[in-house]
C-alpha cells in the first residue's frame, strides 16, 4: 500500500480496471464459476458466469465515474474543498455463495481508494476465492502494481484467524454470516456489515401479472436463490390472487399441496436450521430430496401457500432455495402489515418490493417499512445490488441500517473506502437574525 498510495487518479483507474478484467475475462469468469459450483455445491455455473461478469462490469462503470484521489469536491459558496485519502488496510470477509464476484468487487472498491485488502473467505469456498486472488495478483503484476495490494488468509481459515485479521486491519467489510458481522463490530476497529435477506414482494391489483411472473421467476431462480436479495415471500392481493398464481404457473412455478408442503418443510429445516443439502440446489434436485414427484419434479420453483403468524424456522423465514412462500391480503394496508411481519422474522432493514402501476402504493412501502431498498416492478436479485436500469450502486454488500445492526444504510460503494479531509476557508458571515430562527416559536409559545 505504501508503494501505491501516491498514485494519481489515472494510475489508480488503470489498476482497478486490471482487477476487473481478471474476473470479467470470459475464460476466467467461467473457470471460477465452475470451480465454485464444484467445490461448494451451491448455485449453478451459467448464472455464476453472468454474476461474475455483470457485477464486475457494473462496478467498474461506477468506479470509472468517481474521483478518489486528491481534490474530489469543491463548494466555493461554503468555502470547502474536500480531499480523498485511503482508509488503510481492509479486511474483506466474503461468503461461500459468491466466492469470486464478492472478493473481486471488494478489491476493486478498496484499491480505488488506494488501500490494500486482505480477504478472509468462507472455508467452504477457499479454493475458488484463492484462485480469484491469484488472478487478481497476476493482473496487478501485469500493470506493474504491487501484487500484495490483494492478499488472502491461508488455509485453514478459522473463526480465530478471521477475527485476528479484523482486529489488525483498519477497516473490516463483512458479507456473509451474522456471526462474522457481529465479530467485526466487536473487533475494536471500524466495520461495515450486512443484514440478513428475506425479501417479501407485493403484487397489487394494478400489477402487470405477466411482467411480475417473469421478473419473480428470473430473480428467484437466478443462481438457485443464493442471493440475499432473492425473493422469499409473495404477498398477493385479493381480486388478482388466482390470476397471479396462474401467471406464475405459466412460467414454471408449481403450487404445492398440503402433503407436499409438509414434505418440503421437513426436508428444508432440520432442528430449526436450513438443511445444507437442500439450499441453492437445482429444482429437480430439491424436488427429489423432498420426495416430490409428478409435475413437481418438472417445476422451476415451488410456491407454498401459508398464513400468518410468522416465526423463525417457518416458511416466513429465509429459505436460500427455490421455495417461495405466498400470502394473501385483502388490500394494500394488509399487504404492508404482512410484509412487516415477515421482515420481523428475518430481513428487517434489507429490502422489499412491489409490482404495481400505482406510485402511491410504492411510496407507502417506502414511507412505512423499515427497509433500505424498495424495488418497484423489478427482479430483486438482479436489481437490488445495482442495475443498468436503476440508480442503485453496483455491489454485493447490502447495508441494512441500524434496523439490522449495520453501520451503513445503503449499498456498499467506493465512498466507504476513502477518508475525507475538509479544507475550510472563510466565507462572508452566514448568521441569520434571532427573529428568523425563533420567530415562529415566539409567536406560538412566548407569553
pLDDT given for residue 176 in this prediction: 85
d(CA 25, CA 29): 6
Strand partners, 192: 173
pLDDT value of residue 125: 96
CB-based contacts of 188, cutoff 8 Å, min separation 6: 167
Q: How far apart are CA 223 and CA 281, in angstroms?
A: 9
DSSP single-letter state for residue 398: B
The candidate with the shortest Cα–Cα distance to 19, out of 148, 182, 101, 135, is 135
Q: Provide the percentage of residues in the chain whose pLDDT is more than 70.
A: 100
Sheet holding 418-424, edge to edge: 70-75, 80-86, 418-424
Burial-class residue 407 by CB neighbours within 10 Å (0-12, 13-18, 19+): middle
**Cβ atoms of 163 and 172 closer than 8 Å:** no
What stretches of 46-134 adopt beta strand conformation (E)?
70-75, 80-86, 89-93, 116-120
Which whole number is the average pLDDT over 359-365? Answer: 98
Q: Among the residues of 222-358, which ranges form H helices?
A: 241-250, 258-268, 283-290, 332-345
The interaxial angle of helices 26-40 and 126-142, nearest 10 deg, is 160
**Is 228 a known active-site residue?**
yes
d(CA 207, CA 354): 9
What are 107-143's pLDDT values in tens digits? 999 999 999 999 999 999 999 999 999 999 999 999 9
DSSP 214: H
Cβ contact 178:327 at 8 Å: no
Residues 261-284: tens digit of each pLDDT: 999 999 999 988 999 999 999 999
- Banded pLDDT at 313 (limits 50, 70, 90): confident
Question: What's the average model confidence in pLDDT over 408-434?
Answer: 97
Q: Residue 365's pLDDT is what?
A: 98
pLDDT-derived band at 311, boundaries 50, 70, 90: confident
End-to-end Cα distance, the chain: 64
Model pLDDT, residue 345:
95
Question: What 3-state DSSP class applies to 36?
Answer: helix
- Using only C-alpha atoms, the chain has a radius of gyration, in whole angstroms, of 24
User: What confidence score (pLDDT) does residue 272 get?
Assistant: 86
Question: What's the pLDDT at 447?
Answer: 61
201: left (phi over 0), alpha (psi -120 to 50) or beta: beta
pLDDT at 239 over 80: yes
**CA trace torsion 256, 261, 267, 272 (10° rounding):** 140
Nearest to 395 by CA among 54, 22, 89, 96: 54
Q: Among 169, 228, 352, 400, which one carries the catalytic annotation?
A: 228
Yes or no: say if 205 and 187 are a contact pair by the CB < 8 Å rule: no
Check residue 409 and give its pLDDT: 97
Task: Provide the pLDDT confidence category of residue 309 given band limits of 50, 70 and 90.
Answer: confident
Q: Within 10 Å of residue 229's Cβ, how many Cβ atoms? A: 24
What band does 158 get if pLDDT is binned at 50, 70 and 90?
Answer: very high
Chain position carrying cell 480496471: 17
Prediction pTM value: 0.95
Among all chains, which residue has been given the C-alpha cell 437445482?
A: 282
pLDDT tens-digit series, residues 37-92: 999 999 999 999 999 999 999 999 999 999 999 999 999 999 999 999 999 999 99
Given a contact cutoff of 8 angstroms between Cβ atoms, the answer to whether 218 and 438 are in contact is no
Find all residues with CB under 8 Å of 266, minimum gap 6, and list them. none
> In the chain, what are the domains?
9-193+413-423 (3.40.605.10), 199-380 (3.40.309.10)
Amino acid at each position: 500500500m505504501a508503494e501505491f498510495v501516491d498514485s494519481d487518479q489515472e494510475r489508480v483507474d488503470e489498476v482497478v480496471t486490471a482487477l476487473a478484467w481478471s474476473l470479467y475475462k470470459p475464460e476466467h469468469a467461467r473457470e471460477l464459476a465452475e470451480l465454485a459450483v464444484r467445490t461448494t455445491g451451491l448455485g449453478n455455473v451459467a448464472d455464476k458466469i453472468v454474476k461474475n461478469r455483470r457485477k464486475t462490469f457494473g462496478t467498474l462503470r461506477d468506479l470509472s465515474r468517481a474521483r478518489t484521489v486528491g481534490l474530489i469536491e469543491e463548494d466555493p459558496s461554503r468555502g470547502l474543498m474536500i480531499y480523498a485519502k485511503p482508509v488503510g488496510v481492509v479486511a474483506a470477509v466474503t461468503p461461500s455463495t459468491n466466492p469470486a464476484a464478492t472478493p473481486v468487487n471488494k478489491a476493486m472498491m478498496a484499491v480505488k481508494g488506494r488501500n490494500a485488502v486482505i480477504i478472509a473467505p468462507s472455508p467452504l469456498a477457499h479454493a475458488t476465492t484463492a484462485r480469484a486472488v491469484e488472478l487478481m495478483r497476476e493482473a496487478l503484476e501485469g500493470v506493474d502494481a504491487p501484487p500484495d495490494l490483494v492478499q488472502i488468509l491461508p488455509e485453514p481459515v478459522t473463526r480465530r484467524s478471521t477475527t485476528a485479521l479484523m482486529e489488525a486491519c483498519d477497516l473490516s467489510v463483512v458479507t456473509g454470516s451474522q456471526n462474522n458481522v457481529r465479530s467485526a463490530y466487536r473487533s475494536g476497529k471500524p466495520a461495515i456489515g450486512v443484514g440478513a435477506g428475506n425479501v417479501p414482494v407485493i403484487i397489487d391489483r394494478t400489477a402487470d401479472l405477466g411482467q411480475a411472473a417473469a421478473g419473480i421467476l428470473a430473480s428467484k431462480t437466478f443462481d438457485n436463490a443464493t442471493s440475499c436479495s432473492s425473493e422469499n415471500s409473495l404477498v398477493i392481493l385479493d381480486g388478482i390472487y388466482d390470476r397471479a398464481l396462474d401467471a406464475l404457473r405459466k412460467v414454471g412455478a408449481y403450487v404445492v399441496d398440503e402433503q407436499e408442503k409438509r414434505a418440503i418443510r421437513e426436508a428444508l429445516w432440520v432442528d430449526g436450521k436450513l438443511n445444507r443439502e437442500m439450499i441453492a440446489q437445482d429444482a429437480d434436485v430439491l424436488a427429489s430430496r423432498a420426495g416430490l414427484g409428478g409435475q413437481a419434479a418438472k417445476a422451476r420453483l415451488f410456491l407454498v401457500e401459508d398464513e400468518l403468524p410468522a416465526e423463525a424456522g417457518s416458511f416466513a423465514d429465509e429459505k436460500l432455495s427455490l421455495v417461495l412462500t405466498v400470502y394473501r391480503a385483502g388490500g394494500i394496508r394488509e399487504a404492508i402489515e404482512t410484509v412487516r411481519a415477515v421482515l420481523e422474522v428475518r430481513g428487517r432493514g434489507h429490502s422489499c418490493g412491489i409490482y404495481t402501476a400505482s406510485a402511491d402504493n410504492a411510496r407507502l412501502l417506502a414511507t412505512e417499512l423499515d427497509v433500505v431498498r424498495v424495488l418497484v416492478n423489478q427482479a430483486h436479485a438482479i436489481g437490488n445490488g445495482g442495475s443498468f436500469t436503476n440508480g442503485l450502486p453496483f455491489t454485493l454488500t447490502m447495508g441494512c441500517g441500524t434496523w439490522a445492526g449495520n453501520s451503513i444504510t445503503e449499498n456498499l460503494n467506493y465512498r466507504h473506502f476513502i477518508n475525507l479531509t475538509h479544507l475550510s476557508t472563510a466565507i462572508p458571515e452566514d448568521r441569520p437574525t434571532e427573529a428568523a430562527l425563533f420567530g415562529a416559536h415566539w409567536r406560538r409559545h412566548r407569553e
